[in-house]
Amino acid sequence: MPFIRMLRRVGQSPACVCWTSVLPVRFLGVSPRQIPADANFHSASFSDTDHPRVLITGGLGQLGVGLANLLRKRFGKDSVILSDIKKPPDRVFHSGPFIYSDILDYKNLREIVVNNRITWLFHYSALLSAVGEANVSLARAVNITGLHNILDVAAEHNLRLFVPSTIGAFGPTSPRNPTPDLCIQRPRTIYGVSKVHAELMGEYYHYRYGLDFRCLRYPGIISADSQPGGGTTDYAVQIFHDAIKHGKFECNLEAHTRLPMMYIDDCLRATLEVMEAPTESLSMRTYNVSAMSFTPEELAQEVLKHVPEFQITYNVDAIRQAIADSWPMNFDDSNARKDWGWKHGFDLPELVTTMLNFHGSETRVSQAN
C-alpha cells in the first residue's frame, strides 16, 4: 500500500503509524512531526482566463462520456482527460484524450495527475447498487479503497475534487418524503454505505486538510444514449428502449414505487455548476439535487401518451424492491437552489418526449440501414 511505502522512506515502521500522521507524509514527503497540527492545504484557484485541467475516472460509465463532452465544450478538447480500465469504443477514443487509469493503483493515479498537470478531478469509478450487492468484496475495493487513493492524490496535489453520491446514501430510518440534506443515514447496501463513507471522508479532508471537496447526491439518472448499468432506478431507462422496440416493458419494481429522478443533461449541468460555484457560496460540501419524482405507473402513463399500444407488466425483483423501499421518495434540494442557484430544466413530460424522440429516431436509422 502507498501508506507503508511512504512511511518506510522516512524510517518509520508500520507498527508505529497512526492515521493522523499518514496524510501529511504524502503531502510533503517529510516526517509528520515537522507538520504543524493546524496545517491547512488549499486548492489551486483559477482566474477567469485560466482553464482547469480535468481528469475523469470511471469515464466509460453512464455519466463520464457526457460530462467529458460538456467540459470539452467549455474548457477545450485537450483540457479534459477521460479514463477507465476498459477499452473505449472508437467514437469515445477519437473524441478527445483517453488514458488507462486504475483507481486501485495509487502510483498510476499519481503519475497521471503529475504528468498531465491535473487541477480538477471527477471521480466516477464505482459499482452501483444491485451490482454491488452481487459482489460485495469488489464493491468494497472499488468504492472504498479506490476512494481513499483518490482523496490522497487530490489532497497531495491540491486538486478540486468532485465525488458523486446518491439517493442510496439514505436508508429506511431516514425521512423519505422529503429527504433533507442533513438527516440520519443508515443505508443497507454496500453501495450506500460506501457513498456515506465518501461524503464523510471528503468533508473530513476538507475541514482537516483544506481539500476543495464537492459532492452532489444524485437521484436516479436517466440518459438516452447509455445502457442501464445495474442500478435500482435503471427501469426508468430500460422502459424507453423496450417501448420503442417491443411496445411493452416488464418492470422489476412495484407500480407505486416513488423515487426521485433527473434527466442526464440536468445532472451534468448541476455537476459543472457546483464545481464552478465560488467557495464562499457553499454552506456545505454535500448537496441533494433533484428535478422530479415519479412511480413506474406514472412513467408508463406518460409513455402511453406517445405510444398508445404500450403495455407495462410487473415482475418484482425482491432485492431491488427492498433497496428502493429504503430510499427517498422525494429529495429536498432547497439548499442547492439557495446557495448556488440550482434550477432543473426537465420535468416528466419533457423527459419522456426527449427519450422517446431519441430512441425513435435511433430505431428508424437502424431500420433504414
Task: Read off the pLDDT of residues 87-145 as tens digits, 9 standing for 90 and up.
Answer: 999 999 999 999 999 999 999 999 999 999 999 999 999 988 778 888 999 999 999 99
Torsion, Cα of 253, 254, 257, 259 (10° steps): 10
Per annotation, catalytic residue among 100, 106, 124, 191: 191
What pLDDT sits at residue 229?
Answer: 65
Residue of 95, 86, 81, 84 whose CA lies nearest to 58: 84
Instruction: Give mean pLDDT, residues 320-342.
Output: 95
pLDDT at 160 over 60: yes
Distance CA 330, CA 320 (A): 18
53-224+263-292+330-345 belongs to which CATH class?
alpha beta
Average model confidence (pLDDT) across the chain: 86
Among 42-51, 68-77, 283-292, name the one with the lowest average pLDDT. Answer: 42-51
Which residue, 33, 90, 75, 36, is CA-closest to 276? Answer: 75
Please give the grid coordinates belonging to residue 264. Answer: 442526464
pLDDT for 224 equals: 84
Q: Is 263 a catalytic residue?
A: no
pLDDT digits (tens, 9 = 90+) for 223-255: 887 666 667 888 999 999 999 999 999 999 999
- Confidence band of 309 (pLDDT split at 50, 70, 90): very high
Residue 279 backbone phi and psi in degrees, to 5: -55, -40
Whether pLDDT at 31 is above 50: no
Rounded to the nearest 5°, which phi and psi values hold at 212? -80, 80
Number of CB atoms found within 10 A of residue 264's CB: 21
196-211 residue pLDDT tens: 999 999 999 999 999 9
C-alpha cell at 349: 413530460
Q: What distance in Å separates the CA atoms of residue 99 and residue 105, rounded to the nearest whole number?
A: 14
Percent share of the chain, pLDDT over 90: 76
Secondary-structure percent of the chain, ordered helix, strand, coil, rounded to 5: 50, 15, 40
Distance (Å, rounded) from C-alpha 74 to C-alpha 51? 9
Check residue 243 and give its pLDDT: 94
pTM confidence score: 0.83
- In the block, residue with C-alpha cell 413506474: 296
pLDDT at 3 (0 to 100): 39
Q: Distance between the two ends of the chain, CA-based, in angstroms?
A: 52
Strands (E), the chain: 54-57, 80-84, 98-100, 120-123, 160-162, 165-166, 212-218, 220-222, 248-251, 259-263, 286-288, 292-294, 311-314
Taking alpha carbons only, the member of 320, 306, 313, 319 closest to residue 349 is: 306
